[in-house]
Chain A
Amino acid sequence: MSNPTTYFQPVRTWSGNYLIWMFALVLLVLAGGYCAYHMEHEGHHITGMNNSVVWGLPHVFAISLILAASGALNGATLSSVFGNKLYTPYARLSVVLSVCLLVGGLIVLVLDLGRPDRLAVAMTTYNFRSIFSWNIFLYTGFIAIGVIYLATMLERSLQRFNRPVGALALLWRIVLTSGTGSIFGFLVGRSALDSAILAPLFIALSLVMGSAALALVIPWVSRWQHSSVSLHHAPPTRQSMMKLLLWCVLAVLYFSAVHHVTNLYIAEHRQDEHNVLQGAFAGVFWLGHIAIIATGLVFLQTLRHSGELSSTAWHLLCAVLLIACAMILYTVIIGSQSTPQLLFPDKIITASSFGDAGVPAYRPTSWEWGFGMGGIALSLLLLGLVLRVLPISPTSQS
């Protein structure tokens, strides 16, 4: 709560709740690790990925985690850069969650490589024309800044740096998310992706996903801590978060609308756009957008009547937002690869062995699901471990 008697403590309990969570997460991480190992050992043919859909479900998980990581820093930014005291109790948690999500996402990204054993090559040989190379610096730099940022919160003598470091972190994550969006935004060969608007769209998505992830993690943590400070007991914080989420949801819808409506007007993008709106992944596309719109409407109604949402409804809606944003990412990443690349605009392709006439629908296998879930579990496991050793979780009764 915003009251001055907030204390921060490590999670000290050995309560069944904490242990069960940690145990379950370890199991999930092990399962995910096995899926990744199996994929690496057998090759990517055991996944749904192929030479047409080259980035599959693991990428959706990885990018979701990375975007959520960037957005999860919202709490800390609002507290230390914009001086919003409502978020101060959650600032530390916000930073730790952010770094843990990023680590989880990067591990998934790396293990999905064809040769993850050559990570040393990726870390030592750079091609600076590649946005991918820049992202390696942006990601590792973000982790470093996150650690320093956390130090300015934990260590009294460093507190005067809290605001400048917070501002740097804010700037950094805007660049980071733009960089992640630009991985997809400059692919001239794929008309569904050939648009710079993907960078701001990714920023909007990251703000929604990160805020929703933070909102979901807060009660989870306070249950371990037996703390009375949770969003359940802090209606002002929840209302503020709802407002924040509403704005971010509007931003997602705006950029998505601009992206897709303009594509309908660009003749060479029209075929791809029809595929997005009506093709194999149209269901995912529409469901994701409708879920986001519906959640936004619920938030709007709640705020207008200044009524409160029940805890269950609030957390459910946050989960819906997370999944809906992941679905939108799914259509951006996989939907864009599911249309044949247009090589001959004036011709109809009557025969080809390589999917030039049409790409079969991508079906992720259970290996990919297990692998991706393992990445999420790893993020949460790291979070649980950090919370255990550092005074991160807020409590009002010390």
Chain B
Amino acid sequence: MQSSSTNNKNSKAQQARRRFLQKLGLLGAAADSYTLLELQAKTTASAASGDKRWGLLIDTSKCASGCDACVRGCNTEHGIDASDSDLTRAQWIRKIDLKDKLTGKESSLPVMCQHCDSAPCVDVCPTGASFKRADGVVLVNKHTCIGCRYCMMACPYKARSFIHENLTEQKPSAPRGKGTVESCTLCVHRIDSEQDMQPACAVACTDEAHSAIVFGDLNDPDSNISRQLQSAGGSQIRSDLQLNTGVRYHGL
């Protein structure tokens, strides 16, 4: 770009000075204006469709206590560091071991965002950053999330995590950053991209030969998940709240 080394030097000095001014915040405040989102008919064929409703069916009889393959799979997929304090680190999916109060029967299951049809987090979000996609996936638009954490107060499943620290080395497919709230995305970056892709937790569970997590389209009566739901049944956590969750449990 620069023809001579003197020019180069000048430019370097220039840039250093500009960097200094930029840090002072004296120049270029609000150079990029926010573009208001226009909701309109989509011409692109690959948009998430309301014909589908993605969901998970978790068979607790196949889920093994002590196995956290799904959690590790999720962490690897999204670049979540599991070495930080349990209190403040992100936990999109967690394993819970249970014992029945009456029978003493023990069980184990993963809990993540339940992708509610009437999601409390979507209702309470002041900016609309917490939203439900046409295909039923509940997401946080981190570009408009202001980090108020009201959704975390509202979520009955404690499914959301607030990022308490600066993050580095994010995965290209999973942008995450300090000061915003996040939760299970049902691996939208995977399921949107190609046919027959499964969320990382389901893949990890299958690899571990448990196959306790089945992913699929709840609206399609012929899908594997719908057929299993019809034959074996599946209940919702806190079904009393009538949130019509996208994640169902068998043998709860």
Contacts and interface: CB of A to CB of B under 8 A. Distances in A.
B228 to A, nearest CB: 22
Contacts of B147: 113-115, 118
Contact of B96 (A40, A43, A356): A356
Interface residues of B, number: 58
Nearest to B105: A347
Contacts of A42: 165-166
A51 B101 contact: no
Interface string A349-365: 11111111000100000
Given A130-B123, A132-B148, A350 B164 contact: no
Given A54-B152, A183-B150, A350 B127 contact: no
A345 B186 CA distance: 26
B178 A43 contact: yes
B156 interface: yes
Interface of A: prevailing SS: loop
A351 B96 contact: yes
Contacts of B102: 346
Interface string B118-132: 001011111110000
Contact of B145 (A45, A115, A126, A348): A115
Contacts of A360: 87
B196 interface: no
Contact of B163 (A43, A52, A183, A354): A43
Contacts, number: 182
Interface string B147-160: 11110111111101
A343 B238 contact: yes
Interface in A27-49: 40, 42-45, 49
B202 interface: no
A354 B145 contact: no
Interface string B30-72: 0000100000000000000000000000000000010000000
A311 interface: no
A321 B150 CA distance: 28
B164 A50 contact: yes
Q: Give the interface size bracket for A toward B.
A: 35 or more
B144 interface: yes
A51 B127 CA distance: 21
B164 A127 contact: no
B127 A188 contact: no
Given A115-B146, A115-B180, A347-B100, A43 B125 contact: no
A54 B117 CA distance: 24
10 contacts: A44-B179, A50-B87, A52-B87, A114-B180, A127-B127, A130-B150, A188-B241, A348-B100, A349-B98, A356-B96
Interface of B: 34, 65, 85-91, 94-102, 106-107, 111, 120, 122-128, 144-150, 152-158, 160-166, 178-181, 237-238, 241, 252
For the complex of A and B, the 7 pairs showing the least CB-CB separation, nearest first, are A114-B147, A189-B156, A114-B179, A132-B126, A45-B164, A351-B97, A50-B87
Given A119-B146, A347-B101, A355-B158, 18 more contacts: A42-B165, A43-B163, A43-B165, A55-B153, A113-B179, A118-B145, A125-B144, A127-B125, A132-B126, A133-B127, A189-B158, A343-B238, A344-B237, A344-B252, A349-B97, A350-B97, A354-B158, A356-B111
